[in-house]
């Protein structure tokens, strides 16, 4: 008989089949209710999952709240995470606890919720691997350098994804999550007003789109103003993001570079033309993302409250 410790690192589709068989139905009901209150739930939950997995692994460390504002969520790169993502996981955890106390990790609930918001926005359905435990470290100081920046070029993007065992194709597919959600003007203002001494506007931007962005984001705009990442179908999970890149309508430098760099352009063209290819690649990438740095077996803990360590 194997000891628990020897089975570490193994996630499985039916991890809670005997200990909490209804967990996925419970989470989906909470996610549905939350989406009916605000659409922001969808991009917020998906982005929360990505930000969680890239720092300390997929262990719900990003959800910890600190009285001193020095937890992972307090880092500069995480301040723009929308509260609706956190709220979704906290509410889902409360609903799960009511039926299966102390059994299901916050990390797994976030993984299930991220899958559900993709599907409920029109994206592909897939089975989510489970069995993660919640991490015991959440520090703002450990975030910098672990998340991709909107100014990154292809080499920088590939490098930071490769650290998490994700390929260039995985990275491009996950970037497709920018078919949903929104960004604050400050994250791309340099492409409109100060790109280079000779070109204030980034020449890879479609000129009409650039004018539209300048109207929505004038130079001294309120920092709270946010605009859609996908100007065409901002509430649908589809491959229009990639069609936008082909048309020069990628919002971030790190979006548009996927089309302008010859090394990644063929994948963007394929995803733009074949939604099935994108969906398949996205499922593969989300599954691999969900394995990043996971704690299993006797590592970590099963938090009772997603915002606080048990001890």
Which segments are annotated as binding site?
52, 55, 57, 59, 61, 72, 148, 178-179, 230, 233, 238
Cα Rg for the chain, rounded, in angstroms? 19
Q: Do the beta carbons of residue 239 and residue 278 sit within 8 Å?
A: yes
- Written as six digits, the tokens of 267 are 């994948």
3-state per-residue secondary structure call for the chain: CCCHHHHCCCCECCCCCCCCCCHHHHHHHHHHHHHHHCCCHHHHHHHHHHHHHHCCCCCCHHHCCCCCCCCHHHCHHHCCCCHHHHHHHHHHHHHHHHHCCCCCCHHHHHHHHHHHHHHHCCCCCCCCCECCEECCCCCHHHCCCCCCCCCCCHHHHHHHHHCCCCCHHHHHHHHHHHHCCEEEHHHCCHHHHCCCCCCCCCCCCCHHHHHHHHHHCCCCCCCCCEEECCCCCCCCCCCHHHHHHHCCCCCCHHHHHHHHCCCCHHHHHHHHHCHHHHHHHHHHHHHHHCCCCCECCCCCECCCECCECCC
- Of 51, 93, 115, 288, which residue is the catalytic one? 51
Give the span between the Cα atoms of 141 and 75, in whole angstroms.
7
How many of the other CB atoms lie within 10 Å of CB of 215?
8
User: What tokens appear for 30 in the block?
Assistant: 């909470």
Q: Is 51 a catalytic residue?
A: yes
Binding-site positions for substrate: 148
Residues serving a catalytic function are: 51
């Amino acid at each position: 008989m194997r000891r628990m410790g020897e089975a570490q690192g193994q996630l499985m589709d039916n991890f809670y089949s005997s200990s909490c068989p209804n967990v996925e139905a419970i989470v989906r009901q909470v996610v549905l209710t939350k989406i009916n209150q605000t659409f922001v739930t969808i991009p917020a939950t998906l982005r929360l999952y990505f930000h969680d997995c890239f720092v300390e692994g997929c262990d719900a460390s990003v959800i910890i709240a600190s009285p001193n504002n020095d937890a992972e969520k307090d880092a500069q790169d995480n301040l723009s995470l929308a509260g609706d993502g956190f709220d979704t996981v906290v509410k889902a955890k409360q609903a799960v606890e009511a039926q299966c106390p102390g059994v299901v990790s916050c990390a797994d609930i976030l993984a299930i919720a991220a899958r559900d918001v993709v599907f409920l926005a029109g994206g592909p359905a897939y089975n989510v691997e489970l069995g993660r435990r919640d991490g015991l470290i959440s520090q703002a100081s450990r975030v910098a350098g672990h998340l991709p920046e909107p100014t990154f070029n292809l080499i920088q993007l590939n490098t930071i994804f490769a650290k998490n065992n994700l390929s260039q194709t995985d990275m491009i597919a996950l970037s497709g999550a920018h078919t949903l959600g929104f960004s604050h003007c400050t994250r791309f203002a340099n492409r409109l007003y100060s790109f280079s001494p000779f070109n204030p506007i980034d020449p890879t931007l479609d000129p009409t789109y650039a004018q539209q962005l300048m109207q929505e984001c004038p130079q001294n705009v309120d920092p709270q103003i946010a605009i859609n990442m996908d100007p065409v179908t901002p509430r649908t999970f589809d491959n229009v993001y990639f069609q936008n890149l082909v048309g020069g309508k990628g919002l971030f430098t790190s979006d548009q570079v996927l089309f302008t760099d010859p090394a990644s352009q063929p994948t963007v063209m394929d995803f733009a033309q074949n939604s099935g290819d994108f969906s398949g690649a996205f499922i593969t990438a989300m599954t691999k993302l969900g394995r990043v740095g996971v704690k299993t077996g006797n590592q970590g803990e099963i938090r009772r409250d997603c915002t606080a360590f048990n001890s």
